[in-house]
């Protein structure tokens, strides 16, 4: 049964994985990568404060929470490539709406729309198609390649977007008028929309023969499966780790604004800081997967949370001053690396925690619904902290909160480590 993925030739398999990687990242360019890299400019052009942008993210998060569970059965009923193509095209059309620089009310509606297109129609088909690609033999490698590849795509396209943005900005960035900023940002929106549409075309032609591999019996949402999973302490500990790690991931949205406001970087330099953080992801995610197989997922998760916590404490302590660039970049790379390593280890924890294969979907549903709640609360929380305490203090409070989350996650990871079987390599069956 799990041999069905071998019907594809090696070249077809490579192209299929490439399509999954490109689509898996392109779908999130408009809602998340754009504000991550260009946050200072986005706030200026749309006339928003941090809280207002955070509320738009929160609308997305609420819609996404609603979408995780029904997305699973939908992916069981319809071919992955059809759902993914519809999701990509709809998301790209949303980009055209963003390019009109809509009002705050319309922006919230747009983010709610993206919550449906990126999660209900896309997330479960992506996970399922990736599992089909890996089969029973290579599930870890499949997800490692997916997340590392997605990171590489995000960093490469992000760097290209910064270069494009710089072309449309005056040579002295500080003198840019609002019209110039708007025109430059609009070009980036068009670039991201075009890439999202191109990803839809790639998926349509690259995935047609992947569907036969999707015939494994799916027991995603059987009540018995959900109840079994809910009784597993490892799943709850994993969920706590995911929440804390995801808070860290959302917190990285602040690095470009931090560089701009505290270290006095101009808008192009600040955007480059945002992309540097993203360049760490492909290396950290793949390395974490390999090291997790070698030394144990629980051990690597614990170490990653420790590094994430230390990095957050350093920023929260307010030690950085304009000119301390090397120390800042070293801290940024280490902290980003730890956060992205955790993303590479999320789903591997299920195997370490001995979640039965047939209950994987139920576990993914529970972990996703609870674990991704930072999509709902982190945007407004960051907005309140950064707007109520403008300047460095707001950033320090934000990173103090990240440090607290890292500590909570660390406790959960140590408990997970204590109660899971010791042999990290026991997956020969």
Give me the tens of pLDDT residue by residue for the chain, a chain 429 residues long: 334 444 668 888 899 999 999 999 999 999 988 888 888 889 999 999 989 998 998 999 899 888 887 776 677 677 888 999 999 999 999 999 999 999 999 999 999 999 999 998 998 788 778 777 776 555 556 777 888 899 888 888 888 888 888 888 877 777 778 888 899 899 999 999 999 999 999 999 998 654 444 434 444 444 566 778 888 899 899 999 999 999 999 998 888 888 888 888 888 888 888 888 888 888 888 888 778 777 888 899 999 999 999 999 999 998 888 777 788 889 989 999 999 989 878 777 877 787 776 666 667 777 888 888 888 888 889 989 989 998 889 999 999 999 999 999 999 999 999 988 764 444 433
Superfamily of domain 1-209: MFS general substrate transporter like domains (1.20.1250.20)
Closest Cα partner for 22 from 164, 130, 146, 190?
146
How big is the chain, counted in residues?
Answer: 429
* Chain CA centroid to CA 275, Å: 14
Token pair of 25, please? 């990242």
Name 389's Cβ contacts closer than 8 Å, sequence gap at least 6.
Answer: 397
Q: How far is it, in rounded angstroms, from Cα 78 to Cα 125?
A: 9
What pLDDT was estimated at residue 65?
Answer: 86
What are the Cα distances from residue 279, in Å, to 121, 196, 295? 28, 20, 25
Q: How far is it, in rounded angstroms, from Cα 126 to Cα 390?
A: 40
Let me know: does 118 contact 27? Beta carbons within 8 Å.
yes
Closest Cα partner for 322 from 267, 258, 398?
258
What pLDDT was estimated at residue 209?
Answer: 54
- The C-alpha R_g of the chain, in whole angstroms, comes to 21
What pLDDT was estimated at residue 144?
Answer: 74
259 exposed, middle or buried (CB, 10 Å; 0-12, 13-18, 19+)? buried
| CB hemisphere CA count around 277 (13 angstroms) | 28
Closest Cα partner for 140 from 420, 358, 296, 347?
347
Token pair of 92, please? 């790209």
Let me know: does 308 contact 364? Beta carbons within 8 Å.
no
HEC string of the chain equals CHHHHHHCCHHHHHHHHHHHHHHHHHCCHHHHHHHHHHHHHHHHHHCCCHHHHHHHHHHHHHHHHHHHHHHHHHHHHCCHHHHHHHHHHHHHHHHHHHCCCCCHHHHHHHHHHHHHHHHHCCHHHHHHHHHHHHCCCCHHHHHHHHHHHHHHHHHHHHHHHHHHHHHHCCCCHHHCCHHHHHHHHHHHHHHHHHHHHHHHHHHHHHCHHHHHHHCCCCCCCCHHHHHHHHCCHHHHHHHHHHHHHHHHHHHHHHHHHHHHHCCCCCHHHHHHHHHHHHHHHHHHHHHHHHHHHHHCHHHHHHHHHHHHHHHHHHHHCCCCCCCCHHHHHHHHHHHHHHHHHHHHHCCHHHHHCCCCHHHHHHHHHHHHHHHCCHHHHHHHHHHHHHHHCCCHHHHHHHHHHHHHHHHHHHHHHHHHHHHCCCCCCCCCC
Burial 373-411 (b: 16+ CB within 10 A, else e): bbbbebbbbbbbbbeeeeebebbbbbbebbbbbbbbbbe
What pLDDT was estimated at residue 177?
Answer: 86
Does domain 219-421 fall under CATH 1.20.1250.20? My reply is yes
Sequence ranges of the chain with CATH classification 1.20.1250.20: 1-209, 219-421
């Amino acid at each position: 049964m799990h041999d069905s993925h071998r019907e594809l030739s090696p070249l077809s398999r490579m192209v299929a994985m490439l399509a999954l990687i490109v689509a898996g990242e392109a779908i999130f360019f408009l809602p998340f990568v754009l504000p991550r890299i260009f946050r200072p400019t986005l706030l200026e052009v749309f006339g928003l404060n941090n809280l207002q942008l955070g509320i738009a993210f929160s609308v997305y998060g609420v819609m996404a929470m609603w979408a995780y569970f029904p997305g699973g059965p939908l992916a069981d009923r319809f071919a992955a490539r059809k759902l993914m193509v519809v999701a990509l095209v709809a998301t790209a059309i949303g980009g055209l709406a963003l390019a009109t620089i809509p009002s705050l009310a319309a922006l919230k509606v747009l983010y709610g729309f993206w919550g449906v297109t990126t999660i209900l129609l896309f997330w479960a088909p992506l996970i399922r198609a990736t599992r089909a690609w890996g089969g029973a033999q290579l599930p870890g490698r499949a997800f490692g390649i997916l997340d590392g590849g997605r990171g590489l795509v995000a960093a490469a396209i992000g760097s290209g977007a910064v270069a494009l943005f710089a072309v449309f900005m005056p040579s002295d960035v500080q003198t840019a008028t609002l019209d110039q900023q708007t025109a430059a940002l609009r070009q980036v929106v068009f670039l991201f929309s075009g890439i999202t549409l191109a990803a839809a075309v790639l998926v349509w032609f690259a995935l047609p023969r992947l569907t036969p591999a999707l015939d494994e019996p799916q027991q995603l949402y059987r009540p018995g499966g959900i109840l079994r999973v809910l009784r597993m302490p490892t799943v709850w500990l994993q969920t706590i780790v995911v929440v804390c790690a995801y808070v860290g991931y959302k917190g990285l949205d602040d690095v470009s604004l931090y560089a701009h406001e505290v270290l006095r970087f101009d808008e192009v330099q600040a955007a480059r800081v945002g992309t540097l953080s993203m360049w760490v992801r492909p290396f950290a995610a793949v390395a974490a997967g390999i090291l997790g197989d070698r030394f144990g997922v629980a051990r690597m998760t614990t170490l990653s949370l420790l590094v994430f916590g230390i990095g957050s404490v350093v920023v929260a302590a307010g030690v950085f001053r304009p000119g301390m660039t090397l120390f800042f970049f070293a801290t940024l790379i280490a902290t980003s690396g730890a956060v992205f390593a955790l993303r590479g280890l999320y789903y591997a924890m299920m195997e370490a925690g001995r979640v039965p294969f047939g209950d994987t979907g139920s576990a993914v549903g529970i972990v996703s619904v609870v674990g991704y709640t930072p999509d709902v609360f982190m945007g407004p929380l960051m907005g309140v902290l950064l707007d109520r305490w403008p300047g460095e203090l707001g950033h320090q409070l934000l990173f103090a909160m990240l440090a607290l989350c890292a500590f909570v996650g660390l406790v959960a990871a140590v408990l997970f480590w204590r109660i899971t079987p010791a042999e990290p390599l026991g997956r020969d069956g």
